[in-house]
Amino acid sequence: MSSFIKENIDEVRKRIENSAKKVGRNPDDILLLAVSKTIDVPKIKEAVACGLNSLGENRVQEIMEKYEPMGDGINWHLIGHLQTNKVKYIIDKVCLIHSVESIKLATEIDKKAEKSGVIMDILVEVNMAGEESKFGIAPSECESFIRELSKFKNIRVKGLMTVAPFTENPEDNRIYFRKLKEMLVDINSKNIDNINMCELSMGMTGDYEVAIEEGATIVRVGTGIFGERFYPNKNK
Ligand SMILES: *Cc1c(COP(=O)(O)O)cnc(C)c1O
């Protein structure tokens, strides 16, 4: 068993604790989501052995492939763009979908959730920096979007998610994390039926400490745990 994964996890946990304490938060209120995309099952099992049983994948296909080999006791999170025609494959496998950004997708999730007899927990993905290349709804549309989502009976809106811009300096993203938190507080205060959000999924390897200082409840860390990713035969 290579020990670098354990060492990485120890380091990430230490940093989470430090960032939380810096702003008077309880580190236990922050979920470290291990982003296991492109990582093989034996390596992921090393992370699970260190107590990380919440795994984030951005492709439906990879969840399908790893679901059986990883076995019971894993909380799977879908963090990447979800196509409507693939909802049926993951509806009974994932505990949280981080990337809801259209009514069309929400309608399909609601339909398939009802069919499976589950209430699906979701986050609304917000494109805070307005980047062309990123998914997510515009901040200005968030409230009306959530008002629409509140009508679905088989969907529970747990909170907001953002993928901040890639940057060398994590401080550059502080403003986006702060604004996402403000949006959550603001929308909760409108007392919309069925809407009481508590989760903020924000922060990745490069900027999770700043995100925690700004209120992240879920940080999505891949490289910081498993090392650099390789994409054989893929142009991504
Ligand atoms: C890949 C990915 C991550 C993790 O990125 P790292 O920089 O490797 O930590 C987090 N969130 C999403 C949506 C991703 O696709």
Query: pLDDT exceeding 90 applies to what percent of the chain?
Result: 96
Residue 231 above 80 pLDDT? no
Ligand 1 contact, 222 CB (< 6 A): yes
pLDDT band at 230 (very low <50, low <70, confident <90, very high): confident
* pLDDT tens-place string over residues 39-83: 999 999 999 999 999 999 999 999 999 999 999 999 999 999 999
Q: What is the pTM of this model?
A: 0.96
Query: pLDDT exceeding 70 applies to what percent of the chain?
Result: 97
Ligand 1 contact, 58 CB (< 6 A): yes
Ligand 1 contact, 35 CB (< 6 A): yes
User: How far is the centre of ligand 1, averaged over its atoms, from the C-alpha of 121 (Å)?
Assistant: 20
Residue 123 above 50 pLDDT? yes
With helix as H, strand as E and coil as C, how does the chain read? Answer: CCCHHHHHHHHHHHHHHHHHHHCCCCHHHCEEEEECCCCCHHHHHHHHHCCCCEEEECCHHHHHHHHHHHCCCCEEEECCCCCHHHHHHHCCCEEEEEEECCHHHHHHHHHHHHHHCCCEEEEEEECCCCCCCCCCECHHHHHHHHHHHCCCCCEEEEEEECCCCCCCCHHHHHHHHHHHHHHHHHHHCCCCCCCCCCEEECCCCCCHHHHHHCCCCEEEECHHHHCCCCCCCCCC
Report the pLDDT value the prediction gives residue 1, as an integer from 0 to 100: 52
> What average pLDDT does this structure show over 88-107?
98
